[in-house]
Structure 1
Amino acid sequence: MNLMKHLSESIEEYLETIYRLIESGRTASTTEISRTMNIAPASVTQMLKKLDSEGYVKYSPYRGAVLTERGYRVARRMTRKHRILERFLHDILRIKREKIHRQACEMEHSLSDDAERALCHLLNVPGECPDKNPIPACDFKFSTCEECLEMKDADIEEIGCRDEKLRSLREMDEEETGRVSFIRGDYRVVRRLMDMGITIGVPLKVIKKAPLNGPVEVEVRSSRVALGRDIADNVFIDTEEE
């Protein structure tokens, strides 16, 4: 069962491509999208105009596209499914590294939310794909992975989707604030964060981000703590509450 409205594979691929380009620090220009997807620029322009009219992107000629909140949610969801599938293909099925990306692309569009959740449990809630790219948080209404595991037999329809738009600490900008809404990992991760004063619902502020994959310094409960990538990628913030 999928909780979100089913879209065409083409639309999902475009939104996912735009997400990944922006994630990697590139501009989602017509040229970049065309090169990445190996599609003619004219066809890309036509699709971007369609996505703009349907509320998934904001498109500006010669500048490219920016995801709207609606498009962002779809793109993150598809990126999550893709990277979980890459982990499954790599870790469980032992598919050759050079083949897993294409295979995951073919499988992600038909992967149900129930299957996604089951794979996440099977893989012990992975935080990154084999290429070390972060896996976005799930959309289900849990504040920790422990809650999800405790309700592993619950139906997706019963659980429902969260309303807030979450970003990991590493995705936030310096001086940006928000509240901790989801922590990924087992009880050891949760305990480690609790010892730092980072718990569900606590407000925090990003003070400084080191270049590339360096630590993120945050202010929480009147103290400053530095979090490495392994933790910062797994603490998700609702920035819309502040």
Structure 2
Amino acid sequence: MNSSVREDCLEAVLTLVQEHQRPVTEREIDEVVEAASSEVTTAVRVLAEEGYLRNEDGGYLLTPPGHDAAEVVLRKHRVLECFLHEMLGMDVGAASKEACILEHAVSDEAIDRLSSYIEDPHGDLPPARRGLRHRRGPRAAACPVGATPNGRRPLLDCSEGETVKVAVIQCIGRNRRLIDLGLIPGREIAVRRKLHNNALVVGVMGADIALSPEVASTIFVERTG
């Protein structure tokens, strides 16, 4: 069985269950995994036999080991997508597709190092990397200070019930937790609640996430569509 299809199926179940809040069918998994239906069927069956998936109400849910394995794959995807988009300037869609390919081959160590690099892209680098940093030049978009580009506004200015798209996160590396939660440029989010202390509760990929005022103030959004 192709290991990449196996990992794609785990990631698909994790994201689909988060989105729909129910068990997901093999057909739904097949619709989002870019592989032959026969490969998806085999992967789902084997994952269930190995204890990574369980049947419930005609669909599939992740078991605790399955959830842990899926989170590893999803984290790789999010870190790679963020790095390709924020640091290398790739289009969000292209970055996501490339991340889907790379996530199956990249090591955990490489992901940890990439995540650390995103956290401090202008810090001290090994000698071999300094030339790369110089050629790339300053990345103002990765860490904008103060200014809000045309059509963009702070997330804190949004009203309850609005659905918007993340445009820029100031110094995204300092908020590494946002990457792990899927809050990255290009992602649609819904403003669920605004609390009295300016904290926000936002919906991201089917999950509700609480953001402190300090973190929310670093996020700038734009209209969807």
Aligned length: 144
SS at 1:232's partner residue?
strand
Deviation of 1:59 (Å): 2.6
Which position in structure 1 is the counterpart of 2:68? 73
Which position in structure 1 is the counterpart of 2:109? 114
Deviation of 1:54 (Å): 0.1
> CA 1:213–1:55 in structure 2 vs 1: closer, same or farther (change >3 Å)?
farther
> CA 1:216–1:10 in structure 2 vs 1: closer, same or farther (change >3 Å)?
farther
Q: Is the contact made by 1:49 and 1:59 (CA closer than 8 Å) also made in structure 2? A: no
- In structure 2, distance between residues paired with 1:8 and 1:233: 36
> CA 1:65–1:216 in structure 2 vs 1: closer, same or farther (change >3 Å)?
farther
Deviation of 1:47 (Å): 2.6
Q: Deviations over 1:175-230 (max 9, x none)?
A: xxxxxxxxxxxxxxxxxxxxxxxxxxxxxxxxxxxxx542488xxxxxx9884247
Which position in structure 1 is the counterpart of 2:100? 105
- In structure 2, distance between residues paired with 1:93 and 1:67: 34
Question: What residue identity is the alignment partner of 2:40?
Answer: V
Deviation of 1:75 (Å): 0.7
- In structure 2, distance between residues paired with 1:94 and 1:23: 29
- In structure 2, distance between residues paired with 1:17 and 1:51: 13
Which position in structure 2 is the counterpart of 1:31? 27
Q: Does 1:90 align with 2:62?
A: no
- In structure 2, distance between residues paired with 1:55 and 1:114: 26
Which position in structure 2 is the counterpart of 1:228? 200
SS at 1:110's partner residue?
coil
Q: Is the contact made by 1:15 and 1:74 (CA closer than 8 Å) also made in structure 2? A: yes
- In structure 2, distance between residues paired with 1:19 and 1:233: 22
More helix by share: 2
Which position in structure 2 is the counterpart of 1:12? 7
> CA 1:40–1:54 in structure 2 vs 1: closer, same or farther (change >3 Å)?
same
Question: What residue identity is the alignment partner of 2:51?
Answer: G
Which position in structure 2 is the counterpart of 1:220? none
Q: Report the RMSD for the aligned CA atoms in angstroms.
A: 3.0
Which position in structure 2 is the counterpart of 1:64? 59
Which position in structure 1 is the counterpart of 2:186? 131
Deviation of 1:43 (Å): 4.6
- In structure 2, distance between residues paired with 1:109 and 1:53: 22
- In structure 2, distance between residues paired with 1:22 and 1:131: 21
Identical counterparts, % of pairs: 28
Which position in structure 2 is the counterpart of 1:214? 192
> CA 1:11–1:96 in structure 2 vs 1: closer, same or farther (change >3 Å)?
same
Question: What residue identity is the alignment partner of 1:37?
Answer: V
Which position in structure 2 is the counterpart of 1:55? 51
Bigger shift: residues 20-29 or 99-108: 20-29
